[in-house]
A and B are shown apart, each in its own frame.
Chain A
Amino acid sequence: MSSVAGSSTRSRALSVGHAAGWAWGKLGDMLDGPFRALQRHIGAHRMAYVFLLPNILVFGLFSFWPMLLNFYIAFTGGQSVILSDRPFVGLDNFRELLNCPSYLDPKTCPVAGFSFWTGVWNTLFFAVVQVPVMIVTALITALILNREIRARGFWRAIYFYPVMLSPVVIAVTWDWVLKRRGILNALLENVVDGWNAFAGTTLFPFFLFTVLAIALSQLLARFSRPLAIGAALAIAPLVAWLVPHEVWSLPTYRPVNWLIDARSGWPTFWVIFVYTWGHLGFYMLILLAGLQAIPKDLYEAAEMDGTSRSRQFWRITLPLLAPTMIVVLVLSLIRAFQVFDEVYVLTGGGPGQATKMIVQHIYESAFIGDAKRYGIAAASSVLVAGVLLILTLAQLAATRKRAGG
């Protein structure tokens, strides 16, 4: 076996890829000695445990152990990272988080509870708004990219590309777009100014006339063709030349601090927008895979029966896509509850606490500021984990259903 590989590598050694492959193989051969000795010692079939060992070690140490540890830390206080230095405080952490005159109004809670409930409500609002927006947009995109359009691969790649970008890059990019002297304001200013300048020109009535005439004739063509053309030719010029152009010009645009003014609601809007922008391609891809699994002949048969497009969508596409939709729904819900990176870099949770998410509360209570309140953070994690566990189990059920169906 190895002699065959050896002779063939020599002839192809020029290529870098093969050189790397050759080195990779040699690396394995170097390790062969110790492993062979081990095998002689414990027997071939027990080598399975040796192969499993690194994975189990890392898993155990960095996944299972922390999971158990989380419950313990949630019942301890103090600021030490050394477990033996952490006094056991019982339910105090949970009491502080949950002891709140009004959960709906986090301002009434103690410090930790304030941060926690603000995070909870913001995250809930984020999830409730973002998930439907994401699913509908992803579905529309997937449906469009599943059509027989040219350069489909190119369009798919474009829509998928943001998924490749890191949250930090996404946040920096959109921060650059949205700041007061950012390009969105510049663009809107230019559009408004350009439109107003255009509305003042003598060319504008002709443009208005054409647009109005086409719109009117299209609208009325359903009833009667001569009427449509007559009305278009009669009403459009009246409107175009008699209405003063000031009516058509827009008010001067004032740049908006998109991410600063909490009362406007824009920070939350843009947080949702940017997150959707960054993750849409992922869900689109899953839905696309689901769409392609639907047999084509169903549509052909429907076409034969003269079934309308919309009816085909509601009666064939949607029911057959339902399992995929459920997976997407649960997956996007789980992800939405864990949102942190994009929002943290984009707004830092601000303005004020307007976009502070639950994960940011966990992060900040444990790692930011002088008081490292690991106990509070762990207790919050336990509460969040409960919600996530339910969602994840729902996802498992959904996945199993999909695999079974």
Chain B
Amino acid sequence: MLLLLLTCIPALAAPTQASAQSITDRRIEWPSGEQWRRVVLLEDYNTRVVIFGVAVLGVAAGLVGSFTLLRKRALLGDALSHASLPGIAAAFMFAGVMGMDGKSLPILLFGATVSGLLGVGLVLVIQRQTRLKEDAGLGIALSVFFGAGMALLGVVQQMDTGHAAGLESFIYGKTASMNANDARLIAAASCVAILGCLLLFKEFKLLCFDENFAGSRGMPVLLLDLTLMALVVLVTIVGLQAVGLILMVALMVIPAAAGRFWSERMWTVAGLAALLGGIGGIIGAASSALFPRLPSGAMIVLTCTALFLFSMMFGTARGVLVRLLRRRRLNRRVRKQHLLRGLYELLESKPANKQAKRNMAVPIEELLSIRSWSSTQLRRTIAQAESDQYLVQRDGTVRLTQAGYAEAARLTRQHRLWELYLISYAEVAPGRVDRDADDIEHVLEPELVDELEALLDQEPLRIPVPASPHGVIHEASDSQGQHP
């Protein structure tokens, strides 16, 4: 998108004069060294205020957002932000009638809070008392309250008290023009929210993961739920007037979702969400200061999104690449085990004594006929097994080493014990048992193998590897598919 932007803008610009830059020239200018230094060292007062305010808000929103995410209420902030509008308009009207300053921030915030809480209450009633789901409740509260707000604003325009201009922009926010009082208010609310989350961390965690268990342990589940909602209201309403509706939703959702990719532990997820929220806020606000024509709220959102995408790809717990690597490692292990077991079964079928079998070389072509391996894949698997010193490759043949033979025997034994178990206890037909055993043998634990032995009354030393309950198939057309 940015490349497209850069390409289009010069064509759109009016022709420039030879010596002067046209007023319509909107190209993104790379900041000078002086500009870099001023931003990085926070020399400008306004930059300092904005970055501080947004960073603190990001931390609080990330922390609270991690709980709402786990509670599957990620969009609660969105509904709340919209639901606050009638409260703002009503507060203005009330203040006007009472002769007070309608634009007074505490009055507007109070109205927004009451309205937001009513919206949350409606969501809870809908969820608990009807068969409608939570997403419907959120949507209803969001749209109906916002519609009421629009209607009230239409009335506000006609009031004699005047100076209603700018009331609408309350929910659009003014990140770049945040002042010190705004930053202090945000800091105070954020501290309350952070403190509340830390003090009630254990209770919130239990509420998120197992609500019924929390109830059975005597915790006041409904009260905790309302407290968590109240913290969401606090952060959202205070942040709303400073940074706007969309940025508030983004801060509540994106850092928490990003943190989730890095850990399965609640402390770490919450901490990372707070950290990512803070970092996203700082980088976004700073980049907006560096590039004068980029809106700060939007830049913060895009920075958080970039952090989210990075986390989604590279997160150490649930990232896409990490899961991909785990799957590939598992597939490689499975293929190697198949190779060893195939070799063992092939040697087993040879008419020779045991010691001679152990050292017998097997042509690779013969291996290919056992399973539906591709030649390239088989050679690669052989190379892996060779590096593990399970086998030696020479002149188109492979031979098991002593360690390889032992491992192959262990794998085959494990496979057949499981087959016997499936036949004896799960009543799987012998003709189907090979595939079913193949699905699970790779993850059998030694303790489980011991249990299988005891269960099947097999003496370990008497029959080291039980005979296969079905014949080993050699023709390629009848071979089993590889592990799915």
Q: Do A and B come from one complex?
A: no
